[in-house]
Amino acid sequence: MVKIGNIELGEFPVLLAPMEDITDTSFRRICKQFGVDLMFTEFISSEGLIRNAVKSTRKLVLLEEERPIGIQIFGHDINSMILAAELAEQARPDLIDINFGCPVRKVVSKGAGAAMLKDIPKMIEMTKAVVKSTSLPVTVKTRIGWDEKTCNIVDVAEQLQDTGIKALTIHGRTRSQLYTGKADWTLIGKVKNNQRMYIPVIGNGDIDSPQKALEMKQKYNIDGIMIGRAVIGNPWIFKQIKEFLKTGKQAQYPDITERTDICREHLILSVEQKGERTGVLEMRTHYSGYFKGLENFKQFKTALMQSISFVETEEILLKIKEYYNFQLKRG
């Protein structure tokens, strides 16, 4: 049984990675239906949180049906991170996660996210301070290094563990790689199989199928996996991975009716949460995933990407369902 503090996550948990403008409440609620074991908010700026910025504070809204759920925070100033952790705790999450892995320029340029991999002493000091500031379990998500010359994650993981964190998630790329190339799971495996490590080690990077999940589990002895980009418009991946790990059988991919119905449900939740315009616009990121592999889909995708109306988008989804079910009947 994998545990983070007192949170029991099963024998081999599958986690949803925090992703900006992706893992909002609406998508998390969809993923929960398909068996995700632990989710996180979109990452929240510590500076934005302590200044009561709307974009940051709205991410603190959690629903009971999402549990267990963690709030992920990032920042460059230790005192701000302490205050942010205290504010996050008031939202009653199950844990607090620190982001030391985000590679995007606007975060790194401020000394936050993956930039902390260039200043390990400060990373450790910040983590220790956050752990002391809250009664909740604290976890960390990071990368294997800043660049190929600084892949010292085995040593860094030990130091992070010594601060009192309850789990560590490692993305198998350096910051310099961004999201290019292949994730290096050998270093994740070295962290997990380091005899000094006793907290759960979660692997992240390039897991896009049940087969890949099983391979990483068997090859590197990790405690669980975190899914990122492969889940966009594809919440079924959690159910598929779990079924494959349990039975060795490939779950049948959902038919067009289920795909359009779940997409519509996601759309409704998105609009309820963010209003019609924003809710409709932010759904655009997911359509390629929901309707991956469909022939002659270009006309429908164009319509979906141009729509700014809930009613119009709903009508397009209905047409998609009718068209592909009709094609299926025709054989």
3-state SS track over 81-112: HHHHHHHHHHCCCCEEEEEECCCCHHHHCCCC
Specify the amino acid at residue 298.
Answer: K
pLDDT for residue 331 = 64
Q: Coil, strand, or helix at residue 44?
A: strand
35 to 28, 29, 43, 235: CA distances (angstroms): 11, 10, 22, 9
Q: Residue 214 class from Cβ within 10 Å (0-12 exposed, 13-18 middle, 19+ buried)? A: middle
- Answer whether 331's CB lies under 8 Å from 325's CB: no
In angstroms, rounded to a whole number, what is the distance separating the alpha carbons of residues 19 and 3?
Answer: 23
Q: Quote the DSSP letter at residue 38.
A: B
- Give Cβ neighbours of residue 98 (< 8 Å, ≥ 6 apart): 72, 73, 74, 81, 126, 127, 130, 138, 139, 140, 141
- Answer whether 235's CB lies under 8 Å from 37's CB: no
- DSSP per-residue codes, 190-209: HHHT-TT--S-EEEESS--S
For 89, the token pair is: 């705790």
pLDDT for residue 149 = 84
Known catalytic residues are: 102
For 132, the token pair is: 């002391």
Quick one: which of 134, 136, 138 has its CA closest to 124? 138
User: Model confidence at 97, in pLDDT bands (50, 70, 90)?
Assistant: very high
Query: Omega before 13 cis (within 30°)?
Result: no
pLDDT for residue 55 = 83
Q: What angle do CA 294, 297, 301 make, to 5 degrees?
A: 125
In angstroms, rounded to a whole number, what is the distance separating the alpha carbons of residues 159 and 96?
Answer: 18
Task: Specify the residue for token string 């925090």.
Answer: 18
For 12, the token pair is: 């081999």
Of 1-10, 17-26, 175-184, 221-230, which range is least confident? 175-184
In angstroms, rounded to a whole number, what is the distance separating the alpha carbons of residues 144 and 147?
Answer: 8
Q: Which helix (H) or strand (E) holds 227?
A: strand 224-227
pLDDT for residue 289 = 94
Of 14-18, 172-176, 268-272, 313-317, which range is least confident? 172-176
Q: Residue 185 class from Cβ within 10 Å (0-12 exposed, 13-18 middle, 19+ buried)? A: buried
Predicted TM-score (pTM) of this structure? 0.94
Domain 3-247 has CATH 3.20.20.70: yes
Work out the percent of the chain whose per-residue pLDDT is above 90. Answer: 87
The CATH number given to 256-330 is: 1.10.1200
Each residue's pLDDT tens digit, 258-306: 999 999 999 999 999 999 999 999 999 999 999 999 999 999 999 999 9
For 323, the token pair is: 């068209």
Radius of gyration of the chain (CA): 20
Each residue's pLDDT tens digit, 38-84: 999 999 999 999 998 888 888 999 999 999 999 999 999 999 999 99
**What are the structural domain ranges in the chain?**
3-247, 256-330
In angstroms, rounded to a whole number, what is the distance separating the alpha carbons of residues 39 and 92?
Answer: 14
Q: Which helix (H) or strand (E) holds 267?
A: helix 256-274
